[in-house]
């Protein structure tokens, strides 16, 4: 497991999520099989793909959607992974214990085994993104996972805005960072801010690819969900960027798509040799990064 240094093909599954959880799971499995037919060896699904994005409101009954890991959803994904001989990254609403729930990414290897899980570390609380109500912050730290085809790192949505998360994951040998995502526009703001918001989302993740010399795959959903305050229009735009930040494949804004592109560890090696950002880090000077803020007068 892991350790093999060779090219492998990754798939990003951009999908629409209905109000029927079983339908979403079936469609996700179908799109994973499609990815495998297109030659994908590692595939990633969007954030919380089994349901519509429920964090638009606070409702205690919604906790009933959570499930254990291993559980029905992870086992269904494992069956597809084994059938297709393809590693799978899936984003699930994890029930850890009564009152303790996580936004969790699981990694299943090509033989269906559960390699491990990553629990979302950064939890937002914005209008229609009330995640602090539902999710306990992750306590497993930043992690990478060896699969049959390569070593992958998993982060989740709001994590994508934090360079520290990308750095600490890349430092553990990730060849690709996957970001399962559910991000969209507030329809009332789209005309004024929409283009800038989507551009910032893409730019920050491409910057992680450049700064760390690593492939980055951002996997979003599409469609309009919810009615409260206009709901959310998820903007799609899933993409894979190479270690130089170049976009290798990109999905549209409003269609389900399976993107397949190649990860080449040799390009990662070449890029880091010419832009040796990891070599030149001043680790002796970074201790203050663990503080909340640095007051100029202190």
Catalytic-role residue among 17, 44, 120, 148: 120
Catalytic-role residue among 157, 175, 225, 233: 157
Q: d(Cα 78, Cα 83) in Å, to the nearest integer?
A: 8
Q: d(Cα 209, Cα 277) in Å, to the nearest integer?
A: 12
Q: d(Cα 250, Cα 89) in Å, to the nearest integer?
A: 19
Rounded alpha-carbon distances, angstroms, from residue 264 to 103, 206, 245, 247 = 30, 17, 14, 14
Catalytic annotation present for 29: no
Q: d(Cα 237, Cα 140) in Å, to the nearest integer?
A: 29
Catalytic annotation present for 17: no
Under DSSP, the state recorded for 220 is -
Catalytic annotation present for 270: no
Rounded alpha-carbon distances, angstroms, from residue 245 to 168, 205, 218 = 18, 9, 13
List, by residue number, the catalytic residues: 47, 120, 157
């Amino acid at each position: 497991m892991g350790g093999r240094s060779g090219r492998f093909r990754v798939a990003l599954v951009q999908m629409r999520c209905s109000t029927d959880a079983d339908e979403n799971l079936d469609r996700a499995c179908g799109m994973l099989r499609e990815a495998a037919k297109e030659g994908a060896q590692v595939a990633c699904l969007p954030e919380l793909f089994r349901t519509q994005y429920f964090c638009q409101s606070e409702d205690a009954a919604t906790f009933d959607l959570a499930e254990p890991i291993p559980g029905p959803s992870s086992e269904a994904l494992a069956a597809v992974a084994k059938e297709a001989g393809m590693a799978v990254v899936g984003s699930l609403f994890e029930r850890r214990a009564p009152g303790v729930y996580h936004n969790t990414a699981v990694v299943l290897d090509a033989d269906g085994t559960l390699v491990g899980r990553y629990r979302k570390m950064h939890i937002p609380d914005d209008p229609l993104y009330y995640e602090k109500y539902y999710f306990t912050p992750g306590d497993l730290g930043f992690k990478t996972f060896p699969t049959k085809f390569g070593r992958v790192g998993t982060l989740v949505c709001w994590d994508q805005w934090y360079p520290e998360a990308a750095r600490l994951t890349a430092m553990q040998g990730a060849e690709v960072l996957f970001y399962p995502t559910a991000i969209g526009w507030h329809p009332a703001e789209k005309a004024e801010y929409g283009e800038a918001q989507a551009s910032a989302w893409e730019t920050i993740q491409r910057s992680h690819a450049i700064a760390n010399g690593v492939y980055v795959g951002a996997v979003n959903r599409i469609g309009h969900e919810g009615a409260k305050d206009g709901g959310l229009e998820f903007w799609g735009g899933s993409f894979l960027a190479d270690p130089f930040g170049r976009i290798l494949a990109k999905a549209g804004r409003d269609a389900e798509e399976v993107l397949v592109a190649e990860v080449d560890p040799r390009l990662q090696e070449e890029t880091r040799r010419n832009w040796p950002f990891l070599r030149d880090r001043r680790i002796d000077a970074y201790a203050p990064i663990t503080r909340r803020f640095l007051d100029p007068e202190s």
